[in-house]
Amino acid sequence: MLSEAQITTMDRLRSYVQTAIVQLPDFADGQPLIVKVKRVSMLALAKVGKIPNALLQQANDLFRGSGNTRQTEKSNPMADMYDICRIMAESCLVSPSLAEIEESGLELTDAQLVALFHFTQKGVKALEPFRQEPTNPVAGDDVESVPNATE
């Protein structure tokens, strides 16, 4: 019964926007990537124009989890999926940022991009299929997996 439920406090709401430290799939064996991330909304990104109109249908299909993306004469579903995952990665990576990773000469792997996309939509639990034991987590940090994460 709702009248017996406690209203969510403002302190509790503020805790929902905190970042998480997660371990993404490795670049390669022995090359872990541990990052600070935040949840972002695909709908909010679309609203403010960060997801281009040309990708909105594909983003909608991914958001709905239909597994089917529509292909038109001018579309390339794999390229569209990459673009959407990259936009989500750019928006959710706090430290290092996507720009910093790319400035180092690295490019996120497909598995890392997909893990970040799943994280943005479902949180740390979405990373469980990617989980592996963390390799050398930073002392004092709670490390979750986007394959290895803990909120």
pLDDT (tens digit, 9 = 90+) per residue, 67-84? Answer: 555 555 556 778 878 888
Mean pLDDT calculated for residue range 19-46: 89
Q: Tell me the pLDDT band of 14, cut-offs 50, 70 and 90.
A: confident
Q: Tell me the pLDDT band of 32, cut-offs 50, 70 and 90.
A: very high
Q: Tell me the pLDDT band of 39, cut-offs 50, 70 and 90.
A: confident
Q: What is the pLDDT of residue 75?
A: 64
Q: Tell me the pLDDT band of 150, cut-offs 50, 70 and 90.
A: very low
User: Does position 105 have pLDDT exceeding 50, yes or no?
Assistant: yes
Mean pLDDT calculated for residue range 12-30: 87
Judged by DSSP in three states, 36 sits in: strand
Structure tokens at 92: 């959710």
Q: What are the beta bridge partners of residue 22? A: 35, 149
CB-based contact 145:132 (threshold 8 Å): yes
- Cβ neighbours of residue 99 closer than 8 Å, sequence gap 6 or more: 90
pTM exceeds cut of 0.75: no
Does residue 134 have a cis bond before it (omega within 30 degrees)?
no
Residue with tokens 């299929």: 129
Structure tokens at 10: 């403002």
The share of the chain scoring above pLDDT 70, in percent, equals: 62
CB-based contact 13:69 (threshold 8 Å): no
